[in-house]
Amino acid sequence: MAWWKGWREEESRFVTGALSFDPKPDAQTLYKAMKGLGTDEQAIIDVLTKRSNIQRQQIAKSFKAQFGKDLIESLKSELSGKFERLIVALMYPPFKYDAKELHDAMKGVGTSEGTIIEILASRTKAQIKEIIKAYKEEYNSDLEEDIKSETSGYFEQILVCLLQALYAAGEKIRGTDEIQFITILCTRSATHLLKVFEEYQKLASKSIEDTIKSETHGSLEDAMLAIVKCTRNIHCYFAERLYYALKGAGTHDGTLIRVIVSRNEVDLNLIKAEFKKIAGQSLSSSILDDTSGDYKTALLNLCGSDD
């Protein structure tokens, strides 16, 4: 399946890419913005935050054809910090971007469990298949094997289960209650799970979330809760991710960038509506309060006004 399949239909709704789009002048604008001393950051923002992902791929191709240079490498050498991270993130096709985020979450010292949970719990089975493929192509490595080597116990099993999600009902259920719980969470459809949650509430007189919180802890608890949240309301799940990324001392920029970039052409408007309910203010207001400079300008362009 082509990486853009399934992203196109939403494109016109969220992105103000020019209808008579021509990548050639955009590539020239970017080249001029980075040529010689100093960088014209505003020109880079104007081009890249106002084009769809498919259009950005065409700009990169045209840039290479006209100037013999790789656009991502050129941007990396001219920009720095959070602004660089955001702009470079925009240049990846969706599945390659998810693969890159997973790879970055596992390399180096320590593993960023939050990133792995967010991506695997919120993507569809078809998308996960494409991510596994992109990961293999980019890093010549098996995503499942890498996750197994970086995680352990039930947390490892829930992630592997999300990656595979192909078990026949009833298979792999022998053994502990945790394994049964994990298998059901990872292998049933959302519609089926919502009914399970409803029945569970009747039988146990408490929500599935309350049980997860009292019976598990750490990364396993986070992963299980993420699956339940994504099943109940995926827009609310991402709104919460953004809320906690922006709340309190310091901003968790990795999460902020990833959610805005990966949901920008999918369902960001719906996420913004949920964010407002949780935060009591719009996402753009929170970004205004918590970020600065070119980074802030680029984020606001991508986010759009929602006041």
- Indicate whether 84 belongs to any domain: no
Q: Both 250 and 133 in a single domain?
A: yes
Sign of CA dihedral 33, 36, 39, 42: negative
Write the CATH number for 164: 1.10.220.10
Amino acid identity of residue 199, one-letter, is E
Global pTM?
Answer: 0.91
- Indicate whether 212 belongs to any domain: yes
Q: Both 139 and 48 in a single domain?
A: no
Q: Residue 167 has what pLDDT?
A: 44
Looking at the chain, the whole-number percentage of residues with pLDDT higher than 70 is 89
Q: Residue 160 has what pLDDT?
A: 92
* Cβ contacts of 68 within 8 Å, gap of 6 or more: none
- Indicate whether 184 belongs to any domain: yes
Range of the domain at 58: 21-79
- Indicate whether 12 belongs to any domain: no
Give the C-alpha separation, 284 to 227, whole Å: 27
Q: Both 62 and 106 in a single domain?
A: no
- Indicate whether 15 belongs to any domain: no
Please spell the DSSP secondary structure of the chain, one letter per residue.
--TTTTTHHHHHHH----TT--HHHHHHHHHHHHSSSS--HHHHHHHHTTS-HHHHHHHHHHHHHHHSS-HHHHHHHH--HHHHHHHHHHTS-HHHHHHHHHHHHHSSSS--HHHHHHHHHHS-HHHHHHHHHHHHHHHSS-HHHHHHHH--HHHHHHHHHHHH--PPTTTT--S-HHHHHHHHHHHS-HHHHHHHHHHHHHHHSS-HHHHHHHH--HHHHHHHHHHHHHHHHHHHHHHHHHHHHHSSSS--HHHHHHHHHHHTTTTHHHHHHHHHHHHSS-HHHHHHHH--HHHHHHHHHHH----
Q: Both 221 and 164 in a single domain?
A: yes
CA 125 to mean position of chain CA atoms: 15
Q: Both 165 and 285 in a single domain?
A: yes
Q: At residue 248, does pLDDT exceed 80?
A: no
Show binding-site residues: 248, 250, 290
Q: Both 137 and 284 in a single domain?
A: yes
Q: Both 153 and 186 in a single domain?
A: yes
pLDDT grade for 177, boundaries at 50, 70 and 90: confident
The predicted-structure confidence for 25-39, as pLDDT tens digits, reads as follows 999 999 999 998 899
- Indicate whether 66 belongs to any domain: yes
Q: Both 128 and 225 in a single domain?
A: yes
Q: Both 100 and 54 in a single domain?
A: no
Q: Both 156 and 186 in a single domain?
A: yes
The length of the chain in residues reads 307
pLDDT grade for 307, boundaries at 50, 70 and 90: low
- Indicate whether 146 belongs to any domain: yes
pLDDT grade for 181, boundaries at 50, 70 and 90: confident
Q: Both 253 and 138 in a single domain?
A: yes
Q: Residue 17 has what pLDDT?
A: 58
Q: Both 73 and 137 in a single domain?
A: no
Q: Domain ends where: 36, 52, 79?
A: 79
Q: Are 8 and 54 contacting, i.e. CB atoms less than 8 angstroms apart?
A: yes
The predicted-structure confidence for 154-174, as pLDDT tens digits, reads as follows 999 999 999 987 444 334 444
What is the tally of structural domains in the chain?
Answer: 2
Show binding-site residues for Ca(2+): 248, 250, 290
Give the C-alpha separation, 106 to 149, whole Å: 9
- Indicate whether 295 belongs to any domain: yes
Give the C-alpha separation, 215 to 221, whole Å: 8
The predicted-structure confidence for 32-73, as pLDDT tens digits, reads as follows 999 988 999 999 999 999 999 999 999 999 999 999 999 999
Give the C-alpha separation, 151 to 277, whole Å: 35
